[in-house]
Structures are given as C-alpha cells and as structure tokens.
Amino acid sequence: MSLRPDQNEALRRFAPGEAVAAALTELLDRDRHLLEVDANERSITFRFAFYLQAHLPEWTVDCEYNRDGVEPKRLEYLGLYPDSEDDDAKTVYPDVIVHRRGSLENYLVIEFKKSTSRVDPAIDLAKLQGYKDQLGYEHALFVIVGTDDHADVARLEWI
C-alpha cells in the first residue's frame, strides 16, 4: 500500500519529501504488521528510519539520538511541561533525525505518533518548532500512523 496522492503531494513540497514518501511506503508495504498490532512506537520508527537511510545515503539517520554535536540535545522551555516553575532546558530525544553526527548539521527531524496515543499532538508540534528554532533543523515533519484496522499514514504536517 502506498501513500494517498494528497499525502505524496504534501510531502514533496520540501526537499526531503520524496525520500520520506518512499520510506513511509516501504514501512506500509513491509511492516504493516507493526501498525496492525499497535506495536511500540520505537519499533515503528526504527523500521521507518532503516528505510529512510537507503534514500538519503549522504546523511546519517538515527532514532532517539540525543546529541547536539557532542552535548545532549536540549530545548529551552516551550510551555509543554506541567511545572511552570521549571524553565530549565530539557534533554530531548527526537523520534527520527537526519543529520551529520558530531556536527551541528541538522537536516530533518520527525516526530511520530500512533493514532492510539493519548498524548496531545500539540506537544510534538511544539517540540518540532523548537527543534527548528533552537537546534537549527532545516526541515521538521509530524506523522501520525494509524493502527489496528486503520494501518496507514493518518496525518502528515510540515512545521
């Protein structure tokens, strides 16, 4: 199964979109079972990153990589956390990133969410904006994948 035409069109608006579209199509074709059984998000993002790497060989694709150069990736307070007194930077672990390890070259960051998640998507959207604004990612994408009987890509949004 491939992406819907409107999803392909939305992805291709940005440079990494063609590679992302191909990797999502491979995920749906080869690993649909992960979505159908509502597998852990890490399992899904790992397989996606595996496919994405083949389409972006000049970059490194990592899952939950928490380094900014050699320091931990941190985002300044974005109003996402329940403690309003806590305005320290938070260490972050983006779901999938495309970058050059050991440098500050950050090409693409992707946050995935399963349709069964109870976490507000606004949190991921704010983090993606933070990744762009504070960590210098050129592109940021939010993806919701459907699970169970709706194993597909439910939402795509460039930030």
Share above pLDDT 90 across residues of the chain, in percent, rounded to a whole number: 68
DSSP-derived letter for residue 73 is P
**pLDDT the model gives residue 146:** 95
Q: Among 152, 155, 151, which residue's Cα sits nearest to residue 141?
A: 155
Q: Per-residue confidence at 90, pLDDT binned at 50, 70, 90? A: low
Per-residue pLDDT, averaged over 112-132, amounts to 94
Average pLDDT over residues 40-54: 97
Least confident of 72-76, 119-123, 150-154: 72-76
Per DSSP (E only), the strands in the chain are 60-63, 67-68, 71-72, 74-75, 90-91, 96-99, 106-114, 139-145, 153-158
Residue 68: predicted pLDDT: 59
For 87-119, give one letter per residue: b (16+ CB within 10 A) or e. eeebebebbbbbbeeeeeebbbbbbbbbbeeee
| Residues in CB range of 15: below 8 A, 6 or more apart | 139
Asked whether the predicted pLDDT for residue 17 surpasses 50, the reply is: yes
CB distance 36 to 151 below 8 Å:
yes
pLDDT of residue 70: 55
What proportion of the chain, given as a percentage, has pLDDT over 70? 84
Answer whether residue 21 shows pLDDT above 70: yes
Q: How many CB atoms are closer than 10 A to CB 11?
A: 22
